[in-house]
Structure 1
Amino acid sequence: MHIQKGVETAFPGIGVTEGIIEPLAIQREDPLLESLKEEIIHEIQARYTLERIKDEPLFRAYRDFFWSVGVDPTKTRPASEALVRRILAGKTLPTINTAVDAYNLASARSGIPIAAFDAGRLSGDLTMRFAGEGEEFVGIGMTKPVILNENQVILTDAEAIIAIYPYRDSDATKITIATEAIHLVACGVPKVESGKVARAYEIAVRYLNRYASVPRKNER
């Protein structure tokens, strides 16, 4: 991924770990994945409390980044924090498909937001840049586009905006049962060590290999 100089200058230390995961055989659900989900839920409940989650240094780093690009993290949570908060509030985690569920669990366990795109729907290389005035974006679940602010950081391919970094992916490139290859991106921001981002990526790859790939692998 090419990160434009202006973004690197404004946010020293911003960076990603990324790669292509294939071949995939995504299913609606998998009982073994549900077992892993319960394991991670118990782990998170033992590690955090809902009252103090905002003060955890890792989540604080993403909150600080959100404030700096004009996004209120008390209303729009960083993706990993949103998953952890959902668990701590006693709510069920969504079941989308085995690929999305797998990397969501990696995000919750690691605390690192993870973006994922259907590689077959991408065009050319990815770029991280600032949005231009008036650019529009349609994220997963949106019924109409939002107008972006100039200071928002986005990811694009050669033709379109594919994500508002690091919290909302494009509806056009979302992962479905038909997806055969995923472009996976673990998202780092200033004050988050690159090693933590790399480890989150490795966890997500391991889960995808076990629960969404063919042939299924036996590591966990």
Structure 2
Amino acid sequence: MTARTEDIKAWLDTVTIDPAVHALRPDYRALVVVAEGLIPGPSDEVSERLLVAAEESARAALAGAAPEDHPHLAAWRETFRAFGAKPQRTRPSAEALLRRAETGLPRVDRLTDIYNAVSVAHVLPLGGEDLDHYQGPARLVRATGEEPFETTAGGEAAVEHCPPGEVVWRDDAGVTCRRWNWRQCTRTRLTLATTRAVFILDALGPLGDAQLTAAGEALVAGLLESSPGAVTASRVVTCP
């Protein structure tokens, strides 16, 4: 498949954050990275090395402290509470991963492993989705309650509807990620056939712009090492 750098840059320009989200967290920034020409597949030596390094980094950074005491994760817990979520039950994604670092992060597939490693090493929520399954632009909004969210329940396909006011990522077809960065839908999840993907790195005030940039650079480096010849584009999206 020929990489279409102009196409992914054009798509990046359509990503938006709704003013209602800005009212909730004016300090929020999203670093959106799009990659094309990726080589999907099971976990490999590159993803394993990155995960092991992330596990070691997490142990050193936490030094026995609880993940939720980290300033950036504490800010995310506060944000979840602000739109009605209970972080003890539905944790910000980076906190959920950091809680597993001591005993070992999950090994899923090479693309998921890479972004999980960056999330843990840089202590920020980070999700990846299949761009070919998107319909229209990505936008961060507060749900109306009408948007469908495709998921699984009891091993079967199911459709849920978010409570009004929940912060969600969505496209023209429905919700792509619930509770800002808690759970992705099944429609756009990465698979062993994914060659074009979008990655969203979430930052609040305690994580500085330089740290956000460093996390994005680490993600791109991992993707390019795993998929030589891939092309990437990125953009920092802020509230209007």
Distance 2:163 2:126 in 1: 22
Shift of 1:34: 1.3
Query: Alignment partner for residue 217 of structure 2, among 197, 202, 206?
Result: 202
User: Which letter does structure 2 place at the counterpart of 1:41?
Assistant: E
Q: 1:35 aligns with which of 15, 40, 49?
A: 49
Cα distance in 1 for residues equivalent to 2:20 and 2:222: 34
SS of 1:18 mapped into structure 2: strand
- Give the structure 2 partner of residue 146 of structure 1: 160
Structure 2 counterparts to residues 17-36 of structure 1, below 5 A: 17-36=31-50
1:31-68 C-alpha deviation (Å, 9 max, x unpaired): 23212322221221122145432221111011111111
Residue 169 of structure 1 and its aligned partner are, at CA, apart by 1.2
Q: Match for residue 102 of structure 1?
A: 114
Aligned partners of 1:192, 1:43: CA distance in 2, in Å? Answer: 17
Identify if the C-alpha distance between structure 1 residues 209 and 195 changes in structure 2 by more than 3 Å, giving closer, same or farther: same
Mean alpha-carbon deviation: is it higher for 37-46 or for 137-146? 137-146
* TM-score (ref. length: structure 1): 0.87
1:2, 1:127 within 8 Å by CA — same for their partners in 2? yes
Question: What's the counterpart of residue 62 of structure 2?
Answer: 48
Q: Does 1:75 align with 2:56?
A: no
Using a 3 Å threshold, how does the CA distance of structure 1 residues 101 and 177 change in structure 2: closer, same or farther?
same
For the residue of structure 1 that corresponds to 2:187, the secondary structure is: helix
The answer to whether the Cα contact below 8 Å between 1:29 and 1:97 also exists between their aligned partners in 2 is yes
Confirm whether residue 158 of structure 1 aligns to residue 168 of structure 2. no
Partner residue of 2:202?
A: 187
Partner of 1:54, secondary structure, is: helix
1:127 and 2:139 correspond: yes
CA contact (8 A) 1:63 1:78 kept: yes
In structure 2, the CA distance between the partners of 1:215 and 1:133, relative to structure 1 (3 Å rule), is closer
Unaligned runs of 5+ in 2: 1-14, 232-240
- Normalised TM-score (structure 2): 0.81
Q: Which amino acid aligns with 2:168?
A: I
Return the alpha-carbon distance in structure 2 between the equivalents of residues 134 and 87 of structure 1: 36
User: Which residue in the other structure is 1:137 paired with?
Assistant: 149
How far, CA to CA, are the matches of 1:189 and 1:176 in structure 2? Answer: 29
May I ask how many residue pairs the two structures share in their alignment? Answer: 214
Question: In structure 2, what is the Cα distance between the partners aligned to 1:9 and 1:74?
Answer: 24
Amino acid at match of 1:54: E
Q: Give the match for residue 177 of structure 1.
A: 192
Identity of aligned residues (%): 22
The answer to whether the Cα contact below 8 Å between 2:37 and 2:230 also exists between their aligned partners in 1 is: no
Bigger fraction of residues in strand: 2
| 3-state secondary structure, aligned to 1:138 | strand
Distance 1:152 1:186, change over 3 A: same
Q: Is contact 1:139–1:168 with CA below 8 Å preserved after alignment?
A: no
Residues 1:11 and 2:56 are matched in the alignment: no
RMSD across aligned positions (CA): 2.2
Structure 1 contact 140–168 (Cα < 8 Å) conserved: no
**Map of 1:117 onto structure 2:** 129
2:77–2:87 CA contact under 8 A, matched in 1: yes
Conserved 8 A contact 2:176-2:185: yes
The question of whether the paired residues in 2 share the 8 Å contact of 1:156 and 1:163 is answered with: yes
